[in-house]
C-alpha cells in the first residue's frame, strides 16, 4: 500500500497537487491525501535575491529569519541587526510567474495558513474541507493548537490583500494576452473540453506555453508525473532528456500553469477573494516554536503522530546554500520541526516524491 502523504505548499503547488490527484487516472497514482496551503503574495528567485543582497553587503549566511511585513522584507541577522528593504526595491528579484497568480490563500487546500489577519504570534487558518475541519478539531482537542475567532479587522485585512492580488494580477494577465503572451491557466474551460484539448499536448507544448514565457512556477509536477522519468530540474527550469512516448500528456495535465478545467479554477475566482471555505479562525501552537505561531509544524506533527498521514512533504533549507529551499519527504517529526519557517524562494517540491 502506498503511503499517505501530507504536504505544505504555496498556492501554485497546491493547484498542481489538486490536478495530479483529480486526474491521476491520466497520469499515475498520486498519494497526497492532506493539503496544507500557505498564503503567498509572491516568491523570489534565489539566484537574484542572493545577488541583490550581496550587492548591499548582506550575506545569506548572516540571515537567521526573514519576514514580509508592511510592504517590506525584514532580514534579521545573527548580529542582532534587522535590515528592512521595501518590496518595491526587491521587484527585480521576484519571479515573473508570480505576477499572473490569482490565488493568495491556496484555495484548493484542505486548510490554508498564514499570518495576515491574526495577532503577532498567531496564524490565520482558513478551513476549506470537511477533512480540514476534522483535523483542526482533533488537533485542538489534543492541545497541539488552540484557536479563537478571527477579528473583524483581521478578516477585512485578509480579504483586502487577497482581492488586491487578484485585481493587480488580472491586469497583468490581460496585458500579456494583448501582446500575444497567453496565460494558459486563465483560459478556463469545461472539463470535457479540457481533456479533449490537452490530448496531444506534450513537453514541447509545455515548454512553449509555460516554461519559455516565464510562467513556470518550478513546482516539479511535470517531473513527478512523467512516466519515463526523462524530465529533469537541475537549476532554473525543467528540461527533457529524451523523447516523450506517443500520446503521453502527463506533464501538461499536471502543470498548474497550463489550461485548467473549471471544476478546479473558474473566472468566478476573480470575484471571490478567499475562495470557498467553511470557517476562518486564528490559531497558535503552544508546544511548538515557529514563524507565526508554529501552527503548520504542529498540524503536520499531529497528522504524523496520529497516523493520519505516513509521511509529509516539506521545504527545508539546503545545507550547502544558505536559505536555498530544498524539498524533503519525511516520516520524522524532528525533520518537520527543523524545516519550520518560510523560505520565500521557489522550490521544486514534488521532486522529493520521485524523479531526479
Query: What is the tens place of the pLDDT at every residue in 239-288?
Result: 999 999 888 999 999 999 999 898 888 777 778 899 999 999 999 998 87
pTM: 0.93
pLDDT-derived band at 110, boundaries 50, 70, 90: very high
pLDDT-derived band at 13, boundaries 50, 70, 90: very high
Q: Is 280 a member of any domain? A: yes
Q: Is 71 a member of any domain? A: no
pLDDT for position 188: 87
Q: Is 217 a member of any domain? A: yes
pLDDT-derived band at 1, boundaries 50, 70, 90: low
Q: Does the pLDDT at position 293 exceed 60?
A: no
Residue 96 vs residue 258, higher pLDDT: 258
Q: Is 55 a member of any domain? A: no
pLDDT for position 203: 95
Other C-beta atoms within 10 Å of 58: how many? 17
pLDDT in tens, 313-352: 999 988 788 888 899 999 999 999 888 877 788 889 999 9
Cell representation of residue 40: 503567498
pLDDT for position 309: 97
User: What is the number of structural domains in the chain?
Assistant: 1
CA 186-190-192 angle, 5° bins: 130
pLDDT-derived band at 214, boundaries 50, 70, 90: confident
pLDDT-derived band at 8, boundaries 50, 70, 90: very high
Q: Is 124 a member of any domain? A: yes
Q: By residue range, what is the domain housing residue 336?
A: 5-43+95-353
Mean pLDDT across the chain, nearest whole number? 91
Q: Does the pLDDT at position 107 exceed 70?
A: yes
Q: Is 68 a member of any domain? A: no
Q: Is 74 a member of any domain? A: no
Q: Is 323 a member of any domain? A: yes
Q: Are 276 and 106 in contact (CB under 8 A)?
A: no
pLDDT for position 170: 93
The mean per-residue pLDDT over the stretch 55-75 comes to 85
For residue 273, which of 118, 117, 91 has the smallest C-alpha distance?
117
Amino acid at each position: 500500500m502506498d503511503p499517505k502523504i501530507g504536504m505544505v505548499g504555496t498556492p501554485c503547488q497546491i493547484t498542481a497537487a489538486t490536478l495530479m490527484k483529480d486526474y491521476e487516472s491520466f497520469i499515475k497514482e498520486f498519494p497526497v491525501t492532506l493539503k496544507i496551503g500557505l498564503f503567498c503574495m509572491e516568491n523570489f528567485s534565489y539566484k537574484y535575491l542572493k545577488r541583490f543582497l550581496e550587492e548591499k553587503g548582506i550575506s545569506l549566511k548572516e540571515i537567521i529569519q526573514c519576514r514580509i511585513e508592511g510592504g517590506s522584507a525584514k532580514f534579521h541577522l545573527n548580529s542582532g541587526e534587522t535590515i528592512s528593504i521595501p518590496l518595491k526595491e526587491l521587484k527585480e528579484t521576484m519571479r515573473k510567474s508570480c505576477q499572473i497568480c490569482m490565488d493568495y490563500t491556496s484555495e484548493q487546500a484542505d486548510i490554508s495558513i498564514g499570518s495576515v489577519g491574526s495577532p503577532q504570534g498567531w496564524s490565520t487558518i482558513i478551513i476549506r474541507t470537511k477533512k480540514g475541519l476534522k483535523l483542526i478539531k482533533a488537533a485542538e482537542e489534543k492541545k497541539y493548537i488552540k484557536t479563537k475567532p478571527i477579528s473583524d479587522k483581521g478578516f477585512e485585512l485578509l480579504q483586502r490583500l487577497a482581492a488586491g492580488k487578484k485585481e493587480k494580477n488580472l491586469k497583468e494577465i490581460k496585458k500579456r494576452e494583448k501582446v500575444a503572451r497567453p496565460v494558459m491557466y486563465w483560459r478556463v474551460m469545461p472539463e470535457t473540453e479540457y481533456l479533449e484539448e490537452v490530448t496531444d499536448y506534450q513537453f514541447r507544448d509545455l515548454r512553449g506555453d509555460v516554461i519559455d514565457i516565464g510562467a513556470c512556477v518550478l513546482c516539479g509536477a511535470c517531473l513527478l508525473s512523467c512516466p519515463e522519468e526523462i524530465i529533469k530540474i537541475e537549476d532554473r527550469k525543467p528540461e527533457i532528456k529524451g523523447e516523450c512516448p506517443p500520446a503521453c500528456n502527463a506533464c501538461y495535465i499536471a502543470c498548474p500553469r497550463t489550461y485548467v478545467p473549471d471544476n478546479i479554477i473558474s473566472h468566478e475566482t476573480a470575484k471571490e477573494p478567499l475562495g470557498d471555505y467553511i470557517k476562518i479562525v486564528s490559531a497558535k501552537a503552544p508546544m511548538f516554536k515557529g514563524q507565526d505561531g508554529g501552527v503548520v509544524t504542529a498540524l503536520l506533527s499531529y497528522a504524523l503522530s496520529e497516523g493520519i498521514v505516513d509521511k509529509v512533504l516539506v521545504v527545508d533549507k539546503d545545507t550547502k546554500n544558505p536559505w536555498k529551499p530544498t524539498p524533503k519527504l519525511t516520516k520524522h517529526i524532528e525533520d518537520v520541526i527543523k524545516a519550520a519557517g518560510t523560505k520565500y524562494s521557489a522550490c521544486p517540491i514534488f521532486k522529493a516524491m520521485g524523479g531526479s
